[in-house]
Amino acid sequence: MLFSSLVFIMIFLPVVFFGSRILRKNKYVNVFLLIASLLFYAWGEPVYVFLMLASILVNYFAGLLLDKNRKYGKTILVLDIIFNLGLLGFFKYASFGSLVVIRYLHLPFNPLMISLPIGISFFTFQIMSYIIDLYRGRFPVQKNIINLALYISFFPQLIAGPIVRYEDINAQLEGRTFTLEKSVEGLRRFVLGLGKKVIIANTVAECCDRIYAYDPQTMSAPVIWIASILYTLQIYYDFSGYSDMAIGLGKMFGFDFLENFNYPYMSKSIGEFWRRWHISLGTWFREYLYIPLGGNRKGKVRTYINLMIVFFLTGFWHGAGFTFIFWGLYHGFFSIIERLGFSKVLKKCPPLAWIYTFFVVNLGWVFFRVPGLGNAFRIVKVMFTPGLQRWYSVGEMITHRCMITAILGILGCGILQLIPAKVPAVRKAVSNPVVQYVWCAAVFLISIMLLASNTYNPFIYFRF
């Protein structure tokens, strides 16, 4: 079930919200929210809800076992991680692995065809963070299986994050309080995220997907460049909008999730970009992979190796394909270049640093978007051969509505947000509650009208 669907907005959310308010006590609300979350997941994945339940049970008992047998804690931790990664590996990478082996060895077999359970990458990482931090002694074991199951399956962050660490939420599972102000703030955040997704992401996605569906050899270089920028906007507004909705929903039910995006396209280096983009994933890899590998404590060469390992797995986490691996290593390469001294050059000229960063990120999204490395390189080739005549021009492929939305999207990536900080009158106006309510009402009405008219409504991160 998509957050940006009328079924969720008009039926599921009101029923769950008012139901939780009627129950009031957290121990009853947690049971209710767990049931609602399982129904939410079963709406799109009725079979795989049992897989998630099995994963919850195994990790629950692994936690209890680890807590009672600290002498064998490391063995229990390793076995549990193998279990979790085994599930993730089988469902997410078995099809890709079998295809590679069959093609490489020219075997007369068909590759495995295993459907990907929605959100498995996200809830698996959450489960692993719980068991790893429990082993590290950061909190006591969770003996209430309802609370642990709710932490793992809570519907706002279940299928696309943000990846919530247990230590950031364990106190809220039992001790959170409901306030009208927090619910209103959560509703406002949800509506703004809905607007990002429905009004901006869906609009630019329609033109972007139409262009990428054609043979790149028939497109002019400007069309391909615009398509790459449209996708750059689409993935940001799609994913950050979903994160905003998840954070807002969390507040509506009394939970505080950490931020997941901080205007990443305003970055002036690739390193800064990854501190602003998908913050929860970057934090997870830093805490549970980069630092345990040695981080930057074992010399420069080892640091660069650790970085490439992290970026390789970051790419592979996003999808089972060579394009994702290349995309991860591509970002790792530029991160190392900056560490080798290029960051000092960037600091001397902020405008040039921003252009460089946006160019690198935008070009990288081509490999993220296009299936097949060969296809991606063919598109990049067209982008850098502008003199050749093609069949389709910008005017034929890009609608006026899409262009206007894209311009507004570019301004909304952090440029407009700078104005209130520098102009007191604007800051006072936008902080006025009446202005905020009117703005949210307008965004909500436009979003509902677009959804009611069966607008184009894809969601990128479902496949991760």
Handedness of CA 427, 432, 435, 438 (dihedral sign): positive
Catalytic residue numbers? 318
Q: Which residue, among 127, 156, 148, has the nearest Cα to 40 in the 3D structure?
A: 156
- Say if residues 192 and 208 touch (Cβ distance below 8 Å): no
Q: How far apart are CA 294 and CA 138, in angstroms?
A: 20
Phi/psi of residue 118, nearest 5 degrees: -60, 130
Q: How far apart are CA 4 and CA 447, in angstroms?
A: 9
Q: What tokens were used for 98?
A: 């079998």
What amino acid occupies position 327?
W
In the three-class reduction of DSSP (H, G, I as helix; E, B as strand; rest coil), residue 254 is classed as coil
Count of all residues that appear for the chain in the document: 464
Question: 133 to each of 141, 170, 173, how far by Cα in Å?
Answer: 10, 12, 17
Q: How far apart are CA 33 and CA 35, in angstroms?
A: 5
Q: How far apart are CA 34 and CA 318, in angstroms?
A: 27
In the three-class reduction of DSSP (H, G, I as helix; E, B as strand; rest coil), residue 32 is classed as helix
Q: How far apart are CA 379 and CA 370, in angstroms?
A: 9
What amino acid occupies position 285?
F
Q: Which residues pair with 366 in a beta bridge?
A: none
Which residues in 244-275 are b (16+ Cβ under 10 Å) and which e?
bbbbbbbbbbbbebeebbebbbbbbbbbbbbe
